[in-house]
């Protein structure tokens, strides 16, 4: 048995090295640049318009209008952001700084600026090619726009099926077990709550929500996501404000180290421009999921009539998740100087940084944020996996029900288990999702360009 596990680890390690290596990261960033050119750098030209017609119109009736076939536009956004704003917003940025240096934050910003139009394009295509299932509900995502949009029908079917398989597996790990493990670990370390107790409570909550389908998931996330986002942003702003004298030096460090061609000795490793770029791009993509193809699945369930209207929310998602939340996390870490020791990383570094600014309370803040972020991710990715199973089994209700049961069980397994191999495999699957999705985005870039031009001509 041990030999089999070692063999799986070896194969997965090689695939993972490619999936999250320089070639794939270049492809992700390159796709963002290509789509930016095709849309005339929409994320800059129309940024004000996008903000006005997304968060600026939150109190308008249209953003909360549901139909028999779809959830409201804001509920779709909340579900997508629930899957996006995960523990990567806390632990991910800490890992990027320790592994790639402060300069990684700059390259994370670059990946986000390009990722804004990537996610916009994914959502536009997802709504444009979506269809109704047997329950008269809107369903869509990369598997649908790849199959229906790619000119080679055979290639389109193969790539669509591959995406659905990778997504289905990744949802059980990255979107589920690793998230429940983060919650259980944080509560155990901070409040000494037994992991089994956390597992039982989490499993009960998740089962009660996901067995109700997309409408119940979106209804919960509509309330949970705004609360958790505002909570963490306010706490982070307070922490940064307390250390305001160190903020200018933190920004100086970010820009200086982003273009450091010589690896300087500091922290856990020497940092150079290539290392900073690698970890900045990787954690940027991980924080906002632009290019992975997950969020468009949630957006496809929206009652929005025009694909571009919903696509504008994608631009906001990336901006808020990476430029706002991850930057605040980074400043909290950099202004304390604790990262320079190189002795701790991930969520532990975030907790230590918050605790040094706000003694005792800081650790509780990060723990609560981890709980809310990870729980929302579990709920959001439950829907992604379900749609993938529906697609692969032609909406077989028994298959969907079995998948839901497996998903619920994995919540408990994640809370009480050691997840090194599960995390590694699911991270690989997460990255593999991007390959067929990026092929689809590049192939259908002309469709995105036309829909965008037509929309703004009418406006």
All structural domains of the chain with their residue ranges: 19-452
CA distance 405 to 361: 37
pLDDT band at 261 (very low <50, low <70, confident <90, very high): low
pLDDT, average across residues 426-450: 89
Q: Which of 12-26, 28-42, 427-441 has the highest mean pLDDT?
A: 28-42
Q: What average pLDDT is seen over the chain?
A: 83
pLDDT, average across residues 95-112: 88
Domain 19-452: top CATH class = mainly alpha
The residue ranges of DSSP E strands in 291-402, in sequence order, are: none
Share of the chain above pLDDT 90, in %: 33
Query: What's the pLDDT at 213?
Result: 65
Query: What's the pLDDT at 58?
Result: 61
List pLDDT tens digits, range 52-71.
888 776 666 555 555 554 56
134 has a pLDDT exceeding 80: no
pLDDT band at 407 (very low <50, low <70, confident <90, very high): very high
Query: What's the pLDDT at 270?
Result: 47
Query: What's the pLDDT at 60?
Result: 61
Burial class (CB in 10 A: 0-12, 13-18, 19+), 351: buried
CA distance 211 to 204: 11
265 has a pLDDT exceeding 60: no
Enter the pTM of the model. Answer: 0.87
pLDDT, average across residues 123-136: 88
Burial class (CB in 10 A: 0-12, 13-18, 19+), 113: buried
DSSP string, 224-273: HHHHHHHHHHHHHHHHHHHTGGGHHHHHHHHHHHHT--SPBP-TTS-B-H
What does the buried/exposed string (b/e) look like for 129-142 if buried means 16 or more CB atoms within 10 Å of the residue's CB?
Answer: bbeeeeeebbbbbb
CA terminus-to-terminus distance, the chain:
62
Query: What's the pLDDT at 263?
Result: 47
82 has a pLDDT exceeding 70: no
Query: What's the pLDDT at 68?
Result: 53
267 has a pLDDT exceeding 70: no
Q: Give the C-alpha distances (Å, rounded to integers) separating 242 from 152, 157, 267, 354, 368.
A: 57, 54, 24, 11, 20
pLDDT band at 260 (very low <50, low <70, confident <90, very high): confident
List pLDDT tens digits, range 345-385.
677 788 888 888 888 788 788 888 888 888 888 888 888 99
Query: What's the pLDDT at 144?
Result: 94
Angle at 222 between CA 426 and CA 67, to 5 degrees: 105
- Asked if 369 and 181 touch (Cβ cutoff 8 Å), the reply is no
List pLDDT tens digits, range 270-289.
457 777 887 888 778 878 88
pLDDT band at 266 (very low <50, low <70, confident <90, very high): very low
């Amino acid at each position: 048995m041990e030999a089999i596990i070692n063999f799986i680890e070896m194969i997965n390690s090689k695939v993972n090295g490619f999936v999250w290596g320089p070639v794939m990261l270049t492809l992700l960033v390159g796709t963002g640049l290509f789509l930016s050119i095709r849309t005339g750098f929409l994320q800059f030209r129309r940024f004000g318009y996008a903000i006005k017609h997304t968060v600026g119109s939150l109190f308008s009736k249209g953003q909360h209008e549901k139909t028999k076939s779809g959830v409201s536009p804001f509920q779709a956004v909340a579900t997508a952001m629930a899957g996006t704003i995960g523990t990567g917003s806390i632990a991910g940025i800490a890992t990027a700084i320790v592994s790639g240096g402060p300069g990684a934050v700059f390259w994370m910003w670059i990946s986000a600026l390009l990722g804004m139009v990537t996610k916009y394009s994914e959502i536009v295509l997802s709504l444009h090619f979506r269809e109704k299932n047997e329950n008269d509900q809107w369903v869509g995502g990369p598997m649908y726009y790849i199959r229906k949009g790619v000119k080679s029908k055979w290639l389109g079917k193969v790539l669509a099926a591959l995406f659905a398989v990778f997504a289905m597996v990744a949802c059980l790990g990255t979107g589920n077990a690793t998230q429940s493990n983060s919650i259980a670990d944080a509560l155990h370390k901070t409040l000494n709550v037994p992991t089994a107790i956390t597992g039982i409570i989490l499993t009960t909550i998740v089962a009660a929500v996901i067995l109700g389908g997309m409408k119940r998931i979106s209804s919960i996330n509509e309330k949970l996501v705004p609360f958790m986002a505002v909570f963490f942003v306010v706490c982070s702003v307070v922490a940064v404000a307390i250390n305001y004298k160190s903020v200018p030096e933190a920004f100086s460090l970010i820009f200086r180290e982003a273009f450091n061609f010589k690896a300087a000795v500091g922290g856990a490793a020497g940092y150079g421009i290539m290392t900073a770029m690698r970890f900045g791009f990787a954690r940027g993509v991980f924080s906002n999921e632009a290019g992975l193809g997950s969020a468009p699945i949630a957006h496809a369930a929206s009652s929005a009539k025009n694909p571009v209207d919903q696509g504008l929310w994608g631009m906001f998602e990336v901006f808020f998740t990476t430029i706002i939340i991850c930057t605040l996390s980074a400043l909290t870490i950099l202004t304390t100087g604790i990262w320079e020791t190189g002795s701790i990383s991930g969520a532990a570094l975030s907790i230590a940084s918050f605790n040094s600014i706000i003694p005792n309370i800081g650790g509780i803040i990060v723990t609560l944020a981890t709980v809310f972020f990870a729980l929302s991710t579990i709920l959001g990715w439950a829907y992604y996996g379900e749609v993938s199973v529906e697609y692969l089994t032609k909406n077989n209700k028994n298959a969907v029900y079995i998948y839901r049961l497996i998903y619920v069980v994995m919540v408990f397994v994640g809370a009480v288990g050691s997840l090194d191999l599960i995390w590694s495999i699911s991270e690989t699957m997460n990255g593999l999702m991007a390959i067929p999705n990026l092929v689809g985005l590049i192939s259908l870039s002309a469709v995105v360009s036309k829909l965008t031009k037509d929309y703004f001509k009418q406006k």
